[in-house]
Amino acid sequence: MLAGFAVQLLNGLAGASALFLVAVGLSLIFGVTRIVNFAHGSMYMIGLYVAYSLVQAFGVTALGFWGAVLGAAIAVGLLGALIEIGVLRRIYRAPELFQLLATFAVVLMLRDAVLYLWGPEDLLGPKAPGFKGAVQIFGRSFPTYDLLLIFVGPAVLAVLWLLLKKTRLGVLIRAATQDREMVGALGVNQKWLFTGVFALGSALAALGGALQMPREPANLGLDLVAIGEAFVVVVVGGMGSIPGAYLAALVIAEIKAICYGIGTVTLFGTTFAFSKLTLVAEFLVMAAVLIWRPWGLLGKPQGTVRTVAAPEAPLRPLPRAGTVVVVALLALLALLPILARDYPYLTVLAIDILIAVLFAASLHFIMGPGGMHSFGHAAYFGLGAYGAALLLKALGLRMEIALALAPFFALVGALVFGWFAVRLAGVYLAMLTLALAQIVWGIVFQWDEVTGGSNGLVGIWPSATFASKAAYFYLTLALVVAGLYLLRRMLLAPFGYAMRAGRDSPLRAEATGIDVVRVHWVGFAIAGTVCGLAGALFAFAKGTISPETISVGRSIDGLVMVLLGGVQSLAGPIVGAAAFTWLSDTIIRATDYWRALLGFVILALVLAFPQGLAGGAAAVAARLRGVR
C-alpha cells in the first residue's frame, strides 16, 4: 500500500514536468506582453504534430527522435514569432484584453489548419529510443521515459532561471515584466523583445507537446486541454513566476495522482470513486489558492501597467438621433415575425441572437464599466438555465413562473462567487471566476439525479401560450429589451458612476466615500441575475440543456462577443453578440472549414476595428462630424 503510494507520487512528478512545460511559456508571455494568449494550447498541439511528422522523416533513432523534438520546438517558435509580428504587433494599442480576441481567432484557424494538414485520425508516435521499457521500483514497473521526464522539468526550470538571471536577454525580460514602459524609455527595442519572448514561449509549449509524443497520440482536442491546464498552473503559481509554475504543476499533478491512487472509498455506506474528482481537481486547487493567496503561490502583485491604449471616454446618455434609431430598430424587430412569415427560420435565429445579446450585455456590465473581466460568466447563464429547468421539471411549476424565478438561482451564485471575486483584480479575478464556473460545471456534470449529468435535462418547453416561435420571440424581445434598459439605466445612474470610479481609480473612489468592493459586488450580482434571465430564456428556447451551457466555451463566446463589439461602448455587446451569432450561423453552412473562415473573419475585424465594431463605428462618426 505504502509502496504503491510512493510510486503514485513518482507518477505525479512525471506529470508535473509535463504540466510545467505546457505552462511556463504562457507565464513568460503574459509577464512581458500582458497578453492572455489562448493560442498557447495550439502551439502545444502543433508541437506534437510537427514532432510526429519529423520523426517519421528522420527515422526512429535516438538522433531522429530528439532531433524531431528539438525541430518541433524551433519550428513552432518561428510560427509564434510570425503570429506576433503579423497580428499582435498591430493591436498592442487596443483596449485591454483585446489581443485575447485575436488569439482566439488564431486558435480557430490553427485547429482547421492542423485538420487539413494531418487529417482527423489520432497519430500515436513512437516510443523514445533508449527509453522504451520500465524499471522495477518497489516491485512495480515504472517507465524509464517517465523517469527521464521527472528530470526534464527541473532541468528546463534551471536553464530558464539561468537565462533570466545571468543573461542580458533575461535582464530585459525581467525588467519588462516589472515595467515595460520604462524599459522602452531606456531605449530597448520593445518590438523585438516582445517578438522574442512570444517565440520563446511558443517554442517551450511546442517542446512540452513534442516530449509527450511517447505518452499520448497527437489529436485535435489537445489545444483546449492544454490551454486549460496551462492557465491553471500559471495562475496558481503566480503569473510571471517560473518557479511558481513548477510548484503549481507539482501540487496539481500530485493531487491528481493521489486521487487515482486512493481509488474507491466507502464511507457511511456510500461509495465514492476519488478518480472522479480529477474532473475539476485543478480548478478546486486554483479557487482555494486564489482565495488564500490572491497572487498565486509565488506571485507578486502585478506591476502597474500604464495603459498604452487611449483612455476611455466617459459614458453619455443617448443623443436624440440615437433614440430615433433605437426606436426604429425596436419597431422593426416587433414586426419581424410578420415580415418573416415566409422565412420562419429568421424568427428562430432572432431569438438566439436576442439571448446572446442579453448574455453579452450582462458580461459587459461588469467587464467594461466594472473593469472586472469575468472568464466564468457562463456559470450564471447555466444557473439560470438549470434553475428554470428544475423549477419546471422537479417542482412542476408553470413555465412562466419558472422563467420569473430562475434568475434568482443566478443571483445567489453571483452573490457567493462575487463576494470572493471582487476582492481580486485583473487576471487573477478573471481566473477565479473561471475556476468557480468550472466547479459549478463539475457539480452539474456529476450530479446525475438532479441535473441529468453529462446528458443534461430534456423536455423544457414553453407553455402553450408561448409555444409558437412568434409568441416566444415576443416574450424574449420584451424581456431582453427590459434587461438591456435596466442595465443601461443603472450605468447612467450614480451607481454606474460609482462603479466606474472604482474601476478607474480605486484609491480616489475610496477617498470620496465609495465602498468600491461593495459597489463592485452589487454590480457583479446584478450582472449575474440578468445573465440568469438569458439562461432561462435559452432553456425554454431549446427545450434541452446540458452542462455545455456552463462550459468554458460559452464563457469565451461571451468574451468574444463583448470584445468584438467594443468593450468601451454601451452598444458594443449588442453589436458584438448579434454579429458573432449571425456570423457563426451563416459561416457554419458556407464551408467544411467553417472554423478557419470564422477565425479569419474575426481576425480581419480585429485588425480593421481595434476598438471593436461599435467603437469603430463611433470613431468614424466622430471623424465625419469633425470634417463637417
Partner 1 sequence: MKRLLVAAAAATLAVTAQAQAVKLGELNSYKAQPAFLEPYKKGWELAVEEINARGGVLGRKLEVVSRDDNGNPGDAVRVAEELVSRENVNLLFGTFLSHVGLAVTDFAKQRKILFVAAEPLTDKITWQNGNRYTFRLRPSTYMQVAMLVPEAAKLKKKRWAVVYPNYEYGQSAVASFKQLLKAAQPDVEFVAEQAPALGRIDAGAVVQALADAKPDAIFNVTFGADLAKFVREGNTRGLFKDRAVFSLLTGEPEYLDPLKEEAPEGWWVTGYPWYAIQSKEHDAFLRAYQAKYKEYPRLGSVVGYTTVIAIADAIKKAGSTDTEKMIAAFKGLKTSSPFGPIVFRASDHQSTMGAYVGRTAVRDGRGVMVDFRYVDGAAVLPSDAEVAKLRGAD
- β-partners of residue 457 are 545
Residue 544, sorted as left (phi over 0), alpha (psi -120 to 50) or beta, turns out to be: beta
Count CB-CB contacts under 10 A for residue 556: 19
Alpha carbon separation from 442 to 270, 382, 451, 548 (Å, rounded) = 19, 12, 11, 11
Q: Is 332 exposed, middle or buried (0-12, 13-18, 19+ CB in 10 A)?
A: exposed
Piece in contact with partner 1 (CB under 8 A), picked from 46-54, 202-210, 348-356, 391-399: 348-356
Contacts for 233 with CB less than 8 Å, ≥ 6 apart: 19, 20, 22, 23, 245, 248, 249, 252, 282
Site string for partner 1, 275-314 (x = CB under 8 A): xx-xx-----------------------------------
| Interaction residues for partner 1, span 351-370 (CB under 8 A) | 352
Return d(Cα 370, Cα 496) in angstroms, integer: 8
Q: Which residue has the cell 440578468?
A: 530
Phi, psi values for residue 309, rounded to 5°:
-80, 160
Piece in contact with partner 1 (CB under 8 A), picked from 387-395, 432-440, 590-598, 610-618: 590-598
Q: Which residue has the cell 443534461?
A: 456
Q: Which is nearer to partner 1, 290 or 541 (CB)?
A: 541
- What is the closest distance, in whole angstroms, from the C-beta atom of residue 243 to partner 1 in the complex? 23
Task: Answer for the pair 599, 108: CB distance below 8 angstroms, yes or no.
Answer: yes
| Interaction residues for partner 1, span 237-276 (CB under 8 A) | 253, 256-257, 260-261, 263-264, 273, 275-276
Amino acid at 286: M
Task: Answer for the pair 149, 21: CB distance below 8 angstroms, yes or no.
Answer: no
Does 582 help bind partner 1 (rule: CB under 8 A)? no
Pairing verdict, β 457-460 and 134-137: unpaired
Does 454 help bind partner 1 (rule: CB under 8 A)? yes
Does 579 help bind partner 1 (rule: CB under 8 A)? no
- Cα dihedral 55, 61, 62, 63 in deg (nearest 10): -70
- What is the closest distance, in whole angstroms, from the C-beta atom of residue 13 to partner 1 in the complex? 10
- What is the closest distance, in whole angstroms, from the C-beta atom of residue 90 to partner 1 in the complex? 28
Is 457 strand, coil or helix? strand
Pick from 217, 243, 303, 506 the residue near partner 1 by CB under 8 A.
217
Return d(Cα 1, Cα 304) in angstroms, integer: 50
Does 74 help bind partner 1 (rule: CB under 8 A)? no
Return d(Cα 511, Cα 291) in angstroms, integer: 26
Pick from 17, 99, 103, 219 the residue near partner 1 by CB under 8 A.
219
For the record, the C-alpha cell of 465 comes out as 401560450
For the record, the C-alpha cell of 283 comes out as 480548478
- What is the closest distance, in whole angstroms, from the C-beta atom of residue 144 to partner 1 in the complex? 9
Q: Which residue has the cell 427590459?
A: 482
Size of the site for partner 1 (CB under 8 A): 76
- What is the closest distance, in whole angstroms, from the C-beta atom of residue 548 to partner 1 in the complex? 5
Return d(Cα 14, Cα 51) in angstroms, integer: 20
Does 494 help bind partner 1 (rule: CB under 8 A)? no
Does 459 help bind partner 1 (rule: CB under 8 A)? yes
Q: Is 590 exposed, middle or buried (0-12, 13-18, 19+ CB in 10 A)?
A: exposed
- What is the closest distance, in whole angstroms, from the C-beta atom of residue 583 to partner 1 in the complex? 13
Pick from 82, 91, 225, 405 the residue near partner 1 by CB under 8 A.
225
Does 46 help bind partner 1 (rule: CB under 8 A)? no
Piece in contact with partner 1 (CB under 8 A), picked from 319-327, 458-466, 473-481, 569-577: 458-466
- What is the closest distance, in whole angstroms, from the C-beta atom of residue 560 to partner 1 in the complex? 14
Q: Which is nearer to partner 1, 64 or 371 (CB)?
A: 64
- What is the closest distance, in whole angstroms, from the C-beta atom of residue 624 to partner 1 in the complex? 38
Degrees, nearest 5: CA angle 497-409-360 = 50
- What is the closest distance, in whole angstroms, from the C-beta atom of residue 456 to partner 1 in the complex? 6
Q: Which is nearer to partner 1, 285 or 424 (CB)?
A: 285
Q: Which is nearer to partner 1, 214 or 616 (CB)?
A: 214
Does 458 help bind partner 1 (rule: CB under 8 A)? yes
CA 339 to chain centre: 38
Piece in contact with partner 1 (CB under 8 A), picked from 7-15, 90-98, 394-402, 512-520: 7-15
| Interaction residues for partner 1, span 143-182 (CB under 8 A) | 143, 146
Piece in contact with partner 1 (CB under 8 A), picked from 444-452, 494-502, 521-529, 571-579: 444-452
Pick from 67, 154, 243, 453 the residue near partner 1 by CB under 8 A.
453
Site string for partner 1, 545-564 (x = CB under 8 A): xx-xx---x-----------
Contacts for 127 with CB less than 8 Å, ≥ 6 apart: 145, 214
Does 59 help bind partner 1 (rule: CB under 8 A)? no
Does 592 help bind partner 1 (rule: CB under 8 A)? yes
Contacts for 239 with CB less than 8 Å, ≥ 6 apart: 27, 30, 31, 295, 296, 299, 302, 427, 428
Q: Which is nearer to partner 1, 8 or 529 (CB)?
A: 8
Phi, psi values for residue 604, rounded to 5°:
-60, -45
Does 7 help bind partner 1 (rule: CB under 8 A)? yes
Does 377 help bind partner 1 (rule: CB under 8 A)? no
| Interaction residues for partner 1, span 77-136 (CB under 8 A) | 115, 120-124, 127, 132-134
Q: Which is nearer to partner 1, 169 or 458 (CB)?
A: 458
Does 343 help bind partner 1 (rule: CB under 8 A)? yes
